[in-house]
Amino acid sequence: MDSIKIAHLSKSFGQQAVLTDINLTIEPQTIYGLLGRNGAGKSTLFNIISDRIPATSGEVVIEGQNNVNNDRVLNRIYLMGERNLYPSRMRVSDIFQTTAALYGRMDMDLVHQLSSQFGLNIRTRFAKLSTGYRSILKLIIGLAVDVDYVFFDEPTLGLDANHRELFYSALMDSYAKRPRTFVISTHLIEEIANMVERVLVLQEHHITIDETTEKVLNKGYSITGPTADVTAYTAGLNVIGHDQLGNLRVDYVYGQLNGSRPIPDTVSISHIDLQKLFVNLTSQEVATFEN
């Protein structure tokens, strides 16, 4: 399948802008992490891509065709979101069968295998499922349905640590056996940091970062030492946040360091993890980003 190309996409609800001039290409056979604070527009973007809500302007093009009311290309996408779209009295087994019929392709052996591993009783009615098991039901569909693009919106909602670990393991196993694109939006960034190949950051209605995870992490630094030495060293750099404890200061920098600037003996420099980097990037009122 070709890339999903999003061009000049904007969405407003009344006078409230949620997405503004989004330009993005989602490549085949890649695992993405879509990061953004609550209300940043992640779910809105997913819903527009899957044609559940209309864009205000711009377009989503899949296989050279606009996605709006286009069942042929939309049938290659699965969106797992927080909304519950299933009849409350429908049994889990019937939901699996109905989804298989809708998409035409679904690995039912994997469905039964994962249902057993997660402890999901397929004879249970949807209304009787807990929040966690409703998430598990949708996760199993996302891993078993034969599509080219899977969008997971807060996929581990209500899952305990064991079930979250089982999901990530099942996702990587599924990806290895049948490579396709997964786009994961979650607040548990530390749990997906080692699996995502590309990072998207949605902030202030825009995509502010679209890079490989390796490149993003290589640009994030913590500069630690006495306050005067740290502030002198980071002057003019892209400081995205800091912590202070007495006279000890940590400046967080995103971008290139000044290679010609001597590093004081009192100052240490190390890379920061994706969670810390995201928190500092998105806590700024006005941020600048180097690409």
Do 148 and 11 share a structural domain?
Answer: yes
Residues 61 and 107 in one domain: yes
pLDDT tens-digit readout, 131-186? 999 999 999 999 999 999 999 999 998 999 999 999 999 999 999 999 999 999 99
* 17/154 same-domain check: yes
**224 part of a folded domain:** yes
DSSP readout, 117-166?
Answer: HHT--TTSBGGGS-HHHHHHHHHHHHHHB--SEEEEESTTTT--HHHHHH
Same domain, 153 and 69: yes
- Same domain as 263, residue 156: no
8 falls within a domain: yes
Residue 266 to residues 182, 236, 242: CA-CA distances in angstroms? 43, 19, 17
57 in a structural domain: yes
142 within domain boundaries:
yes
My answer on whether 178 and 245 are in the same domain is no
116 and 153 together in one domain:
yes
Window from 22-36, 73-87, 161-175 with minimum mean pLDDT: 73-87
CATH for 23? 3.40.50.300
223 plus 196 within the same structural domain:
no
The Cα 152–Cα 136 span in angstroms is 12
Q: Residue 48: enclosing H or E segment and its boundaries?
A: helix 42-49
Residue 69 lies in a domain: yes
Do 6 and 46 touch, CB atoms closer than 8 A?
no
Give residue 284's pLDDT. Answer: 58
Tokens describing residue 181: 């694109």
Say if 288 falls within a structural domain: no
Same domain? 196 vs 256: no
Mean pLDDT of the chain: 93
pLDDT of 24 reads 96
**Residue 268 in this model has a pLDDT that exceeds 90:** yes
Indicate the residue among 179, 203, 227 that finishes a domain.
Answer: 203
Tell me the CB-side half-sphere exposure of residue 86, using CA atoms within 13 A. Answer: 25
pLDDT-derived band at 2 (thresholds 50, 70, 90) equals confident
Please tell me whether residues 184 and 237 are part of one structural domain.
no
Give the residue numbers spanning the domain of 8. Answer: 4-203
One domain for residues 222 and 194: no
DSSP 202-266: EETTEEEEEEEHHHHHHTEEEEEEEHHHHHHHHTTS-EEEEEEETTEEEEEEES---TTSPPPTT
> Which pLDDT tens digit goes with each residue over 91-142?
999 999 999 999 988 999 999 999 999 999 999 999 999 999 999 999 999 9
The number of domains in the chain is 2
Query: Rounded to whole angstroms, how far apart are CA atoms 122 and 116?
Result: 9
| CATH at 241 | 3.30.70
Residues 84 and 194 in one domain: yes
